Each structure stands twice: as structure tokens, then as C-alpha cells.
């Protein structure tokens, strides 16, 4: 997942007391150049008290820069308006880069308080900027006169991007409408933040205990050890404690022989943030949906789905839904076959009970073992996290693009578990700083993602290279056993590194077009293409080595891994497409205040399942109360479908490597050019420039065994 953060550009909406600000910032690390070679934030010197005064000072700095743009008496042009806008707010960007990173990956109670205070401030500043009539008049003048001003295509692209962003954020509204939109955005920010915090709390704090060892039968020893450790930490030594974070949940659902344990885990997870009062997200969902509907109406759209799809490749909710249904119909048909196989296996082994949703992972693994003589347990010892990183993703990046990764053990880190690398290009020149943070902890949000702590840009005599980070929640090490990954985890590491490559390789002049600052329906394509190298035999044999013996993964296991690659694909496609369709159904309805007030979240989800004829044994990948992509921010709201849209591009886009070879230089160079290009041209044109044609859905259906 790519966490999308837009540069916050503000106008003078906050009045500051200069002497107080200056006193607060005398020793504030954000207020001076970072004293290290690549501008890595000095995390050990940044205190919680530094964020607010630095943010206010950054707003003041940016206000002055924007005021200068407005008061400039020269004819508006690219340099004095668009470029000045894109290059403004450096202090604020520094604060935001660290704040957004730590509020997701090291979200301590103190950091939560900082976020709760500052994130609404950032929202307010963005609103004020995009609704500033004088500033918009300058931007519009450049946009309207692009040809007359002799701008090159990249300058036109950045100008168009800013113009459209102003319009989508209310620049054409009346003063009263702008005030309404500001209030809507302020409230949305508050509810988004509450939604995410509730999920984090429930996943880490909703714990159930096991006091009988026989209930643990089938579980990997590392899971048992970590459960005993958690119980001891909670004052129940001698028992085993479980929460529903992915690193624990998936092994329990897959390997626990006890149906009661599997059911307890399943119910704990699927009730995340939807029980009790304080941490229930139902009310947040009601408020968010109504506010989004009001926002869409203000901006001239019938529904939020119309607003959300308008600027992207799909253009309309119908086009997005049509794509999803092309995948949905064959996927649910495949699920019926998979369930029949599991029920047959269960009966043959003495279990006559009807398989339930909590049994799906367990019996899928059993059938996989029987059908292919293959289990996740067979391969996990070969997938040590450190090897997957250094001998997998780094190795492939070196072979494809000539990149090298040198660890910097003394570099600043926001957490001791973080590793920092100096990334050099094929000529040995510094390309980027890359940080990895793969292990779970209570203060980290669930899931995996990439972001930029510092964007790249190359203008005004400055060639600033990016600081990119990958975050995950992989299996914890236990004793002498390192973090051992499932095959799905391995693909996740390659996926997020694909985003990282997109951010690190960028070679564009302007920050607003750099790296992953692209449309969201193409931003997932490079990451999904990068997953393919996890499967390639040359790469696989380089990183897949037994953590004890160093033995390379046997050919027999590689063959079984490939043979089983399409196994259970009906289930995986159904839960993913189902979640995307549910997201679409939430947002294609024009909610009235009365309807929104009376939303029954569970009933709505069941209605969607009924309309789609969704198999009973498959749950949405994320139920609404913990669908963080969609309700914890607006960036993927009514946009979860873009993962599938990008998978169409990915499956079609990897075909040249399949034909020419996974390390074919000409193909790698062409794809590298796409990664370097950021958002400098229309994404479909950029794709066709690389691929030579528009994509089709055929390759994706074939890859998933659905055609």
C-alpha cells in the first residue's frame, strides 16, 4: 500500500506571536538543516514538544511565500507562480514528513496527542490555500495561458495538476460554500483520525487467553512462544495470550487444530472496532459517509463515488464497477469448487461438520498439502526476513537497475528496529535513503506501506534526493529463530519495495510530480509488477535459503510453490474484489442525513453480500469498521478498486519480461524509464509508451486461474 500524502500549502490563517515562536524554536531540530550527509531527521533530538512550534513556524514561512506569489506584480508565469508554489513550505514539509511517518509506525500515546492537535491544523491550512481566490487567480492565469507562455510538457503537467486540485478543493465555490467545505473537511479529519486510532487500539488490546496447552496443537512454536510472552506481560504467566494482528491471526487460522481457537480468533478479528461504545467505529462511519456526500454535492457531484472516480482512469463509478464484476463472477464460481474440495477433505478425515468461515484457511492449507504435497510450513524456514530483503529485493534491484544498498548502522532512526540504507545508482552516485521497519509492535498501525519522508526535486540549484521508507508487520522472531515469512509475506515485502523503487528512482525536476505522486489507479502498478520477481527462479534461489543450514530451497519445493501459485485464488480474489465493491456501494449511494443517521453497518454489509451472491464462507478482506484504507483517510475512499485496476496493468505490464527474460536489459531500461517519470505525463500514455499498447484484463484472469 502506498500512503499518499500531499504537500500542504497554506495561506495566512494563523496569527503567531513572533517572540514566543522564536523562543520555542531556538533549539528546535526542525528549524535548521539536519547535520548529516543526506538530511535524515535527527529523531533522537526531536521531542514531542518540537512539533507544534515548528509547524506554526512552517506555516508562517509558507504564508509569506504564498503572499509573495499573490503580490508579485509581474505577469503570472510558471516560475513565479507554479514553481514557487511547488517549492514553498520546506519547514512544514519537514515537520509533516516525520509526523505522518511516526503517527503510523510509532504512534505512542504522546504521538497520538500530537497528531490529534496538528493533523486538523494541516487540514485547515490546505483548505485555506486551495480556497484562496487571489492565489487561484494566479494559478488559473498560468493554466489558461500555458501555450502563450511557452511552457514545456512537464511544466504544463504540473500546472494542470495544481489547477485541477484547486477546483476539486473548492476554488470555484462561493465564500459561504467555501466555509461549509472547510468545516466538512475539518470534521472529516477528526473522524478519520478516530477511526484509525480505534482500529489500532482494538487490534493490540483486544486479547483473549488460552489456559489449556492442548488447544495450541498445530500452531508453530514461534506463535506459541510469543503468546506465552504476551500473557506474561499481561500478568497471566503460564497462559497464552492472543490478539488479532496479522502476524498472529493468520497462523492461528491456518494451523490451529482447535476449531474453538480458530473461531475465537476469527470472531475477535471480524469484530474489530465494532463492539462496545468507546472503540466502535459505526458512528464514525455514519458521520464520514454523510460528510463525504455533502462534500460531493457542494462540488457539483451527485454522489461521492462520482467525485472520487472523476479524475482517474475509470472516470465513472460504473466503469470501475464493470471492471470489478469481470473478476467477481469467475472468482465466486471458483470459490464453490474450493469449498467442495475442502468439505471432501474434511469428511475423508472424520470431520462431518459443515465448514465455517473460521475454517477456511485451515482446510485450504490441508487441501493444499494433500493436492500438492506442499504446505507453508515447508517453505517458511527458507524465508528469513533478512535474506528476503538483502538477497531478494536488493538483489533483484541490482540486477535490474544497478542499485546497491549499503547499511548505515549509525544513521538516525525513529525506532531501534529500523534499518537505514544508502542507496547508490549504477554509477555509484547517491540515489536515496531507504528505511525498513518490518516487525509489529503495539504502537504500529496494521498492514504494510511505503511513503516518502522527503520528496525528490531538482531545481533552483538544489538536487535533493528522497528519503523513502517501507513499513510492515511480519512475524516476530523467537529465541534463536529469526522472523520467518509466509509466502504471502514475501510477496508483501516485494510489493512495498516496488513502491519504494518508484519513489527512489524518480528523475523529475519538480516535487509535485516526483516518485509516487501519481494518480492512485496507477500508483499500485509498479509495486504489483515488482512482486513477480519473488517468483522468478533465479531470484527465489538467491534469497530462499534455510535459516539454519543455508541450504538453497530445493527444486522440488520451488516446483510445488509454482504449481500451487493459483491455489485458493477464488477465495483471495473474492475477498479483495468484495471489499472493493463494498467500498463502491457505500459511496455510490446519495446518503440523506436521516439515512446516514440510521445506518446499520452490519446490515448494510449483509445487503451487499446478498446483492453480489457472495459465498457465505468468504468475508470481505476488511469489514467496514476496520477498513482503514477507506475510512481512516480520504485518499483511497471509493478507490479500493484501484488495486484491481492496477493489477490489470501489472499482469499485462509484466508480459514483456515473461517473453524476453526477467532481467532483460532493454525491457528493464524501458520499465525503469516509467519509474523515473513520476507523474510527468498522463498515466495511460506513460503506460502505453512502455508497453506499446493499452492493457487488457486477459492476463490477470489467466494469472489467477480464472480463465
Catalytic residues: 496
| Element housing 437 (H / E) | strand 430-437
Give dist(CA 304, CA 227) in Å, integer.
43
Helix (H), strand (E) counts: the chain: 33, 9
Give dist(CA 279, CA 285) in Å, integer.
12
**β pairing state of 467-471 and 430-437:** parallel
Give dist(CA 112, CA 401) in Å, integer.
39
Task: Annotate 190-222 with DSSP letters as a single string.
Answer: HHHHHHHHHHHHHHHH--EEE--GGGGTT--HH
Give dist(CA 587, CA 597) in Å, integer.
15
Of 661, 562, 435, the closest CA to residue 671 belongs to 661
Neighbours of 68 (CB within 10 A): 12
Of 580, 472, 457, the closest CA to residue 527 belongs to 472
Give dist(CA 37, CA 4) in Å, integer.
26
Of 467, 443, 372, 377, the closest CA to residue 98 belongs to 467
Give dist(CA 530, CA 53) in Å, integer.
41
Neighbours of 609 (CB within 10 A): 18
C-alpha Rg value of the chain to the nearest Å: 25
The crossing angle, in degrees rounded to 10, of helices 221-233 and 246-255 is 130
434 phi and psi, to 5 degrees?
A: -125, 125
Give dist(CA 475, CA 232) in Å, integer.
19
Write a three-state SS string for 72-110.
Answer: CCCCCCHHHHHHHHHCCCHHHHHHHHHHHHHHHHCCCHH
- Answer whether 346's CB lies under 8 Å from 363's CB: yes
| Element housing 324 (H / E) | helix 317-348
Neighbours of 235 (CB within 10 A): 8
Which residues, at least 6 apart from 655, have a Cβ–Cβ distance to it below 8 Å? Answer: 699
Neighbours of 173 (CB within 10 A): 17
Helix/strand/coil percent split, the chain, to 5: 60, 5, 35
- Answer whether 263's CB lies under 8 Å from 224's CB: no
Q: Enumerate the H helices of 234-316 as residue ranges.
A: 246-255, 259-270, 282-298, 304-309
- Answer whether 523's CB lies under 8 Å from 635's CB: no
Which residues, at least 6 apart from 134, have a Cβ–Cβ distance to it below 8 Å? Answer: 70
Give dist(CA 686, CA 518) in Å, integer.
11
* Per-residue cell: 349: 478425515
Amino acid at each position: 500500500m502506498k500512503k499518499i500524502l500531499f504537500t500542504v500549502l497554506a495561506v495566512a490563517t494563523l496569527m503567531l506571536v513572533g517572540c514566543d515562536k522564536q523562543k520555542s524554536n531556538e533549539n528546535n531540530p526542525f528549524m535548521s538543516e539536519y547535520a548529516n550527509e543526506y538530511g535524515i531527521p535527527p529523531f533522537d533530538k526531536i521531542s514531542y514538544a518540537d512539533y507544534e512550534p515548528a509547524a506554526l513556524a512552517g506555516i508562517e514561512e509558507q504564508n509569506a511565500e504564498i503572499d509573495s506569489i499573490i503580490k508579485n506584480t509581474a505577469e503570472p508565469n510558471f516560475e513565479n507562480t507554479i514553481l514557487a508554489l511547488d517549492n514553498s513550505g520546506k519547514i512544514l514539509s519537514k515537520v509533516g514528513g516525520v509526523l505522518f511517518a511516526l503517527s503510523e509506525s510509532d504512534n505512542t500515546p504522546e504521538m497520538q496527542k500530537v497528531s490529534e492537535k496538528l493533523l486538523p491544523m494541516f487540514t485547515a491550512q490546505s483548505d485555506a490555500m486551495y480556497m484562496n481566490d487571489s492565489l487561484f487567480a494566479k494559478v488559473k492565469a498560468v493554466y489558461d495561458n500555458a501555450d502563450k507562455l511557452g511552457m514545456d510538457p512537464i511544466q504544463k503537467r504540473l500546472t494542470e495538476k495544481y489547477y485541477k486540485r484547486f477546483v476539486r478543493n473548492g476554488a470555484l465555490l462561493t465564500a459561504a460554500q467555501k466555509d461549509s467545505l472547510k468545516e466538512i473537511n475539518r470534521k472529516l479529519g477528526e473522524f478519520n483520525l478516530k477511526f484509525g486510532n480505534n482500529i489500532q487500539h482494538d487490534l493490540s488490546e483486544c486479547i483473549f487467553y488460552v489456559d489449556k496447552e492442548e488447544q495450541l496443537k498445530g500452531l508453530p512454536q514461534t506463535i506459541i512462544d510469543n503468546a506465552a510472552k504476551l500473557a506474561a506481560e499481561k500478568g497471566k504467566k503460564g497462559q497464552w495470550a492472543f490478539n488479532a494482528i496479522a502476524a498472529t491471526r493468520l497462523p492461528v487460522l491456518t494451523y490451529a487444530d482447535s476449531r474453538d481457537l480458530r473461531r475465537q480468533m476469527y470472531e475477535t478479528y471480524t469484530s474489530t472496532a465494532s463492539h462496545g461504545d468507546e472503540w466502535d467505529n459505526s458512528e464514525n462511519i455514519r458521520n464520514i459517509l454523510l460528510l463525504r456526500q455533502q462534500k460531493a454535492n457542494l462540488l457539483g457531484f451527485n454522489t461521492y463515488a462520482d467525485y472520487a472516480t472523476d479524475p482517474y482512469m475509470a472516470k465513472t463509478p460504473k466503469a470501475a464497477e464493470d471492471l470489478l464484476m469481470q473478476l467477481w463472477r469467475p472468482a465466486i464460481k471458483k470459490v464453490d469448487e474450493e469449498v467442495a474440495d475442502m468439505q471432501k477433505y474434511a469428511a475423508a478425515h472424520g470431520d462431518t461438520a459443515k465448514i465455517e468461515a473460521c475454517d477456511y484457511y485451515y482446510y485450504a492449507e490441508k487441501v493444499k498439502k494433500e493436492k500438492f504435497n506442499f504446505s507453508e510450513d515447508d517453505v517458511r524456514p527458507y524465508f528469513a526476513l533478512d535474506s528476503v530483503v538483502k538477497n531478494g529485493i536488493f538483489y533483484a534491484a541490482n540486477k535490474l537497475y544497478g542499485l546497491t544498498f549499503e547499511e548505515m548502522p549509525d544513521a538516525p532512526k525513529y525506532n531501534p528496529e529500523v534499518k537505514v540504507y544508502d542507496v547508490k545508482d549504477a554509477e555509484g552516485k547517491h540515489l536515496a535513503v531507504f528505511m525498513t521497519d518490518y516487525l509489529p509492535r503495539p504502537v504500529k498501525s496494521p498492514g504494510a506501506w511505503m511513503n516518502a519522508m522527503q520528496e525528490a526535486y531538482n531545481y533552483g540549484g538544489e538536487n535533493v534526493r528522497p528519503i523513502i521508507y517501507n513499513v510492515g508487520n511480519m512475524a516476530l522472531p523467537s529465541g534463536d529463530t529469526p522472523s520467518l515469512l509466509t509466502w504471502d509475506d514475501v510477496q508483501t515485502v516485494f510489493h512495498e519495495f516496488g513502491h519504494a523503487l518508484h519513489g527512489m528512482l524518480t528523475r523529475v525536476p519538480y516535487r509535485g510530480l516526483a516518485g509516487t505522486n501519481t494518480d492512485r489507479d496507477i500508483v499500485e502498478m509498479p509495486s504489483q509488477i515488482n512482486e513477480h520477481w519473488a517468483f522468478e527462479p533465479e531470484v527465489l534461489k538467491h534469497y530462499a535459503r534455510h535459516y539454519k543450514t543455508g541450504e538453497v530451497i530445493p527444486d522440488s519445493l520451488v516446483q510445488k510453490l509454482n504449481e500451487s501459485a493459483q491455489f485458493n485464488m477464488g477465495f483471495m480474489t473474492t475477498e479483495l474484489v468484495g471489499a472493493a465493491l463494498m467500498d463502491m456501494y457505500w459511496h455510490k449511494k446519495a446518503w440523506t442525513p436521516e439515512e446516514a443517521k440510521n445506518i446499520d453497518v452490519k446490515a448494510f454489509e449483509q445487503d451487499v453480500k446478498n446483492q453480489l451472491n457472495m459465498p457465505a464462507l468468504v468475508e470481505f478482506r476488511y469489514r467496514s469498521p476496520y477498513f482503514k484504507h477507506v475510512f481512516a483517510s480520504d485518499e483511497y475512499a471509493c478507490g479500493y478498486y484501484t488495486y484491481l485496476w492496477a493489477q490489470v496493468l501489472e499482469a499485462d505490464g509484466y508480459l514483456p519480461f515473461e517473453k524476453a527474460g526477467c532481467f532483460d536489459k532493454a525491457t528493464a531500461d524501458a520499465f525503469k524509464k516509467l519509474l523515473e517519470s513520476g507523474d510527468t505525463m498522463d498515466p495511460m500514455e506513460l503506460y502505453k509508451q512502455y508497453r506499446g499498447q493499452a492493457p487488457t484484463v486477459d492476463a490477470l484472469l489467466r494469472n489467477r486461474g480464472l480463465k
